[in-house]
């Protein structure tokens, strides 16, 4: 059994634990594409650092990192051969990036006395991305064991993931539209500074 299989089995184990320990939350969580009941019920009581969210975030980190690693494996195989710790580095970089971005958003929310709004928004965004990571976990299974991955196929899946993430952000903004419209200028600043710039900087750093 290679390390990829071990990682995928570990992710499946984490999802199973989350479903077993929090069955009601998990059932509401997986229906997010068709219902916002999860936010209406859990969003009022569940904290961002709740164990349920942490477990699914772990799956998110490994699923995203495996997908990024596959990019290197297909497009830059010499990098994979030369660096046996590449996957660990990807996991670390992704975790640091997400946590740093999250911390900055929390600091801004506290500075402007918007903690309840920011917490609600971060909870929604984390939930959507955790859900997308479950679909990415399934995609990884296909790409690693069933379908021969190609650069074109990876780009298509990447475009689909970006689209789903965009749709999730749209619904989150729609939920908070009254607040956004009353603070539209600050929302545009936030969008440019914390939702667009970090990914642009990351892209320029990698390329």
| Letter string b/e over residues 185-204, b meaning 16 or more CB atoms within 10 A of that residue's CB | eebeebeeeeeeeeeeeeee
pLDDT value at residue 129: 92
Q: Which token pair is 32?
A: 């997010």
In angstroms, rounded to a whole number, what is the distance separating the alpha carbons of residues 176 and 120? 9
- 180 in helix, strand or coil? helix
Cα 155 to its chain centre, rounded Å, is 18
Domain that holds residue 17: 3-206
Please give the model's pTM, rounded to 2 decimal places: 0.87
Residue 132's alpha-carbon distances to 64, 80, 81, in angstroms, are 10, 26, 29
Q: Structure tokens of 69? A: 């690693």
pLDDT tens-place values along the chain, 207 residues long: 589 999 999 999 999 999 999 999 899 899 888 877 787 776 655 577 889 999 999 999 999 999 999 999 998 999 889 898 999 999 999 999 898 888 888 887 777 666 777 777 888 889 999 999 999 999 999 999 999 888 899 999 999 998 988 888 787 777 767 766 666 666 666 666 666 666 666 555 555
Three-class SS state of 164: helix
Domain count, the chain: 1
pLDDT for 4 equals: 93
Output the pLDDT for position 199.
Answer: 66
């Amino acid at each position: 059994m290679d390390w990829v299989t071990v990682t995928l089995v570990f992710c499946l184990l984490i999802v199973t634990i989350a479903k077993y320990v929090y069955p009601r939350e998990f059932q509401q969580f997986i229906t997010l594409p068709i219902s916002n009941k999860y936010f209406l019920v859990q969003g009022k009581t569940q904290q961002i650092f709740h164990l349920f969210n942490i477990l699914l975030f772990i799956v998110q980190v490994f699923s995203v990192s495996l997908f990024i690693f596959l990019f290197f494996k297909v497009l830059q195989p010499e990098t994979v051969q030369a660096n046996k710790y590449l996957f660990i580095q990807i996991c670390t970089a992704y975790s640091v990036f997400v946590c740093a971005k999250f911390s900055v958003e929390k600091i801004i929310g506290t500075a402007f006395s918007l903690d309840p709004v920011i917490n609600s928004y971060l909870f929604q965004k984390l939930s959507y991305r955790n859900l997308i990571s479950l679909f990415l976990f399934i995609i990884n299974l296909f790409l690693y064991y069933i379908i021969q991955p190609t650069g074109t196929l990876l780009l298509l899946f990447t475009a689909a993931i970006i689209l789903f993430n965009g749709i999730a952000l749209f619904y989150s903004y729609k939920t908070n539209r009254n607040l956004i419209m009353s603070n539209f200028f600050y929302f545009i600043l936030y969008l440019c500074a914390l939702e667009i710039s970090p990914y642009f900087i990351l892209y320029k750093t990698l390329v």
